Amino acid sequence: MASSIENNNEKLTLKSSDGEEFLVEKHVALQSTLLQNMLDSDCSSADVIPLPKIDARTLALVLGYCKKHADASSSKQGELNSFDSEFLKDMDMGALFNLVLAANFMEIKGLLDIAAQKIADTIKDKPHQEVREIFHVENDYTPEEEAAVREENRWAFEGFP
């Protein structure tokens, strides 16, 4: 934490998978454990840091989250909570999945938690057929196989189509 304060004005450049560059203040980047470790080990002090797994749209979202959380003081937890829920509201599932992958890769625990939780909340209490539609998952079961899976834990499907 001490290093983030003394180098408060330093900036670094992140490059998305589709080649877009983002100039980020260091204390914002430190929200990511991955970037923190890179900076601590001093392997990327001046260069552009490539993030080959994250596209520009997702990276912009991630950095928006990091900036909000880096700038807010700990006393504003309530404000951060409402920012978090507003942040994911109305986001389409594709964007949400990319966000989870990015948060996982960049090790941003808070973002990973809220995004994965949002997906889990979408799935729960829904019939599996509806889950397929929401996430565009192809059903690769034969009717017999699907029946067998249901039969393994028949109680879990009671009350569902």
Partner 1 sequence: MPEDLLVLILHRLIQLSDYFRFGAVCKPWHAAADHQKVHRRRDKQEVPMLLILPPAKTAEEADYHCRRLYSVTQIEKGPPQFGASSSLSPEVLWFFSRMVSITSTGSSQGTFIMRANCKKSPYLPIPSLDPIDDAIVNITNLKVLEVLFGNQLNGTIPENIGKLANLEQLAAASHQQPDRKSVCFAYELHQPQFSNNRTRQIKLG
Q: Give the residues lining the site for partner 1 (CB under 8 A).
A: 97, 100-101, 104, 112, 116-117, 119-120, 123-125, 127-128, 131-132, 135, 137-141, 146, 149-150, 152-153, 155-160
Residue type, 130: E
Half-sphere exposure of 99 (CA within 13 A, CB side): 26
Measured from the CB atom, the residue of 72 and 131 that comes closer to partner 1 is 131
CB of 120 to partner 1, least distance (A): 4
| Shortest distance, position 107 Cβ to partner 1, whole Å | 13
Q: How far is CA 71 from CA 8, 40, 64, 99, in A?
A: 11, 21, 11, 21
Nearer to partner 1, 48 or 149 (CB): 149
Q: Which is nearer to partner 1, 44 or 104 (CB)?
A: 104
Q: How far is the CB of 109 from partner 1 (least distance, A)?
A: 12
Q: What angle do CA 45, 115, 2 make, to 5 degrees?
A: 35
Token representation of residue 75: 């006393």
CB of 28 or CB of 106, closer to partner 1? 106
- Tell which residue, 110, 116, 104, 102, has the closest CA to residue 14: 102
Closest CB 99 distance from partner 1, rounded Å: 11
For residue 63, the minimal CB distance to partner 1 (Å) is 21
Specify the 3-state DSSP secondary structure of 98.
helix
